[in-house]
Amino acid sequence: MSPHIGLGGLEPRRIRRNLAAVRLRVVMTLGGRKIVVLAEDGYEDLELWVPYYRLLEEGAEVVLAGHEKRIYSSKHSYPCEVDLVAADLKAKDFDAVVIPGGVAGPDKMRRHKEILSFVKSMDEGRKVVAAICHAAWVPISAGIVKGRRMTSYASVRDDCINAGASWVDKECVVDGNFITSRFPDDLPAFCRAIVSALTK
């Protein structure tokens, strides 16, 4: 009879090595990073919550913000209670801003000067600005897309071009600190690009 007692007949030493290898594989890469996800009524559910939880999974501190401190309702009536108001956001406190789409959400968001000012200051500080789908309207209104490569939902293409951007039909476009994607199907590439940009 073997003197070694372990799970599945493995020696304790081998079990410890295997557990250490598992821990290495799940090391969180964004510890110490702080990210804000913007919310507004009519936001696209997946485009807000997938990046939110994906970035939390990587160890980032993720906060939700809107132009008012209240609960916002998604296009499918899912609630989002924000932590902060946009007027209190300071670019020096964050490493990235994620702007979800949803037609109504970004259209309302771009009407608030405090949101546009924050997005612009994030870009000026070379912090990550990530927008998906119709959220392209927000960086357009913030005046940061001229001369940049970007993508968006197809119906926003002309708005991007008219604002001076070079529009491409691609799942994710990275132009320096500026990250854009087209629609929910692109979320895996969108989230990978954000994580990659924040680990450089």
CA 191 to chain centre: 6
Q: Which of 134, 160, 172, 191 is catalytic?
A: 134
pLDDT at 54 over 80: yes
Give dist(CA 67, CA 84) in Å, integer: 8
CA distances from 193 to 16, 108, 132, 160, 178 (A): 33, 26, 12, 20, 10
Asked if pLDDT for residue 159 goes beyond 50, the answer is yes
Whole-number pLDDT of residue 21: 52
Residue 199 pLDDT > 90: yes
Catalytic residue among 67, 80, 112, 133: 133
pLDDT at 15: 55
pLDDT tens digit sequence for 108-119: 999 999 999 999
Fold of the domain spanning 30-198: Rossmann fold (3.40.50)
Could you read off the pLDDT of 77-102 as tens digits, one per residue?
999 999 999 999 999 999 999 999 99
200 — pLDDT class (breaks 50, 70, 90): confident
Q: What is the mean pLDDT of residues 21-25?
A: 49
134 is known as an active-site residue: yes
Confidence bin at 27 (pLDDT 50/70/90): low
What single letter denotes the amino acid at residue 147?
A: G
Burial 145-181 (b: 16+ CB within 10 A, else e): beebbbbbbeebbebbeebebebeeeebbbeebbbbb
Dist. CA 152–CA 18, nearest whole Å: 43
**Using one digit for the tens of pLDDT, what is the confidence trace for 55-69?**
999 999 999 999 999
CB 55 within 8 A of CB 62: yes
Residues 6+ apart with CB under 8 A from 116: 110, 138, 141, 142, 143
Known active-site residue 133:
yes
- For residues 175-197, give the mean pLDDT: 98
Instruction: Please tell me the predicted confidence (pLDDT) of residue 120.
Output: 98
d(CA 153, CA 140): 13
- How does the average pLDDT of the chain come out, rounded? 91
124-149 residue pLDDT tens:
999 999 999 999 999 999 999 999 99
Closest CA to 200 of 130, 127, 131: 127
Percent of the chain with pLDDT over 70: 86
Share of residues in the chain with pLDDT > 90 (%) = 86
Domain boundaries, the chain: 30-198
Q: Is 35 helix (H, G, I), strand (E, B) or coil?
A: strand
pLDDT at 2 over 50: no
Q: Which of 121, 90, 96, 124 is nearest to 33 (CA)?
A: 96
Contact between residue 95 and residue 127 where contact means Cβ atoms under 8 Å apart: yes
Cβ 179 vs Cβ 173: under 8 Å: yes
Cβ neighbours, 10 Å, residue 11: 13
| Confidence at residue 28, expressed as pLDDT on a 0 to 100 scale | 75
In this predicted structure, the answer to whether residue 4 has a pLDDT above a threshold of 50 is: no
Average pLDDT over every residue of 25-35? 83
- Rounded alpha-carbon distances, angstroms, from residue 57 to 31, 46, 50, 194, 198: 10, 16, 10, 13, 14
